[in-house]
Structure 1
Amino acid sequence: MEMFKDFLLHVSFILFPIFLYHALWLSRTPAHFPKTNKLLITVFASISSALCIMYPVGSILDLQTGLQSIPLVLAILYGGYMAGIVAILISIIVKFVMYGSFLWIGLIVVPIYFFIPFLFYRKWHQYSKPNKLFYGVLIGLSKGFFIYIGLLVVSLMAYSPAFIMQQKLLELFFSTLYYIFFLVLSIYSIEFVKENAEMRSQLVQSEKLTIVSELAASVAHEVRNPLTVVRGFIQLLFSSDNTKEPPANKDYKNLVLSELDRAQDIITSYLDIAKQNYYQIESLNLSKLLEECASLMTSYANFKSVTIHQSIE
């Protein structure tokens, strides 16, 4: 029971920096979801591991055990190589200050069971939450296995192997189970915090798009009114049967009306973009498009004394 209380104390040392990281870094409301702050991860992991070392759970063969390696594993998985190495070095220094005579045992075991987290780091952010939890279990099992091998080697040098097998194996077994459980709990807590931060960031973006959509609807309404008036008067101006009217006026009328309709389509498209509607790929008549381009440029070409010749085929 006393050991379990010590484990709970270590859990508080581990989980508190996770939620503190969320409060200091992920709770901000930037334009985009904030990038990983490796400096904060390194600092929090080092402090958390140091506290676990200073208040150990118990000992196996006079070697202090506990959850001090969990912050180091999290620093590797979420902060990268540099964050993990710095946090590991700081924890080794703290362990040397606290228990200097057993530093060489840590130097033998530590590099081995941190090898697997270093392998997972590069693709860790691509894994889904269930995969991360599963790999957390594997990391915990590998850590317990390597510690057992290391302690077995030490027992061959200082004690009899039966001492480990009979008196300390059960303690090591439960210690590994606690380690796996709290490592998975820590990974789940980090993913839960990240998901909440991402959802909050998406909610902010959604609110901004809602404002843009409402503004677009208002602007579209104000612009469509004068366009409707202009279209009506143009139709009225060209509706009279004037025999002296040049034949080209009919083309100009159609051109102006088509441009007004195109302006309406642009406004409608702008509203669709603001609403984030999904679009489908459609086939396009290229010949018709080129004819429209030529007709649109006719008035400007005439103003510049340029004649446009079409050869679409």
Structure 2
Amino acid sequence: MIELPHTTGVDGSDDFFLERLDVFCNQVLRQAVKSFAERERRPLEQVRRSIAVWHCKQLFERTGSGLSASDSTAYISLRHISEQLESLRATASIEAFVLAVNPSNSIDDPNAGFLGGTVAGRQFWREFRHGGEAGAKAFRQSCARASGTAAKALTPSAPVPHPALSTARPTAQSIKSDLYDAMRRSLRSVSGVRSAEMKWTNQERLHAFGVRLLGWPADIPMQNPSILKTSQNAALLDALRCGALHFERINAAVGAPASRVDEDQDISWAYSEIVEEEPLLLQADSQRTHKRPRSDSNHDATQSGRPLHRE
């Protein structure tokens, strides 16, 4: 891992030196750059950028020897970022570090990583438990795995074989796993219960989810796929995929036949008249109930031998 060099004096070990350097840059270099720009008849900002690029190249030639062309470009950019972080520390007291790796480089390549930033930031990464060289290698390996997976998925040289065209015979374990997964997804889709699980040995317990299973082959016992034979699991999986074996909601299944039974055995005409005559019967009973106390009183008075006087 290449550690980008620090900017001179950023560590603050000689504040007087930094002060004198600042005065020198403001008085001498600035005037020299301005005079050079006027003599060349070019914008001052353009000359400053050209000087910065030249300075980076000089630093790169001293510390980045042996790098490829692509790494050279990356080194120049990272060097600029590191200098910006160090300048940020000097102006705003912000600590930071930058770690960059190239996943395409070998793990043993010393140029596989770049570390830059402030003194405190770099020191933190070196002393970090999983940092330093080991952390940079782990980071590079993680990026390599991620980029390798994406490249493998997008490469045209390794197409994914279609299941129908695949010549590999499915194993017993794969058939059993596919049956478990297909049955679970079908049950949860029909029942609407996201945590529903198949009841292999007691399918009546599926009523708790509001569904029932139809089309189970008669020659296959209702057992867990781990107990069934591979041929039986394959038959169940094929039946489930073609729709011969499927789940059905109980309320929907019960609702339709119930209406047909009511149409065939409609006896509403027999009790409709009773319901219509019921108010008349209740009215007659009410009248008899109101008259009964008076008749009983007359009867008692007659039996007692006392004459009845009407007003």
Verify same fold: TM over 0.5. Answer: no
Asked which structure has the greater RCO (Cα within 8 Å, sep 6+), the reply is: 1
More strand by share: 2
Q: TM-score by structure 2 length?
A: 0.20
Q: TM-score by structure 1 length?
A: 0.20
Query: Of the two, which has the highest radius of gyration?
Result: 2
More helix by share: 1
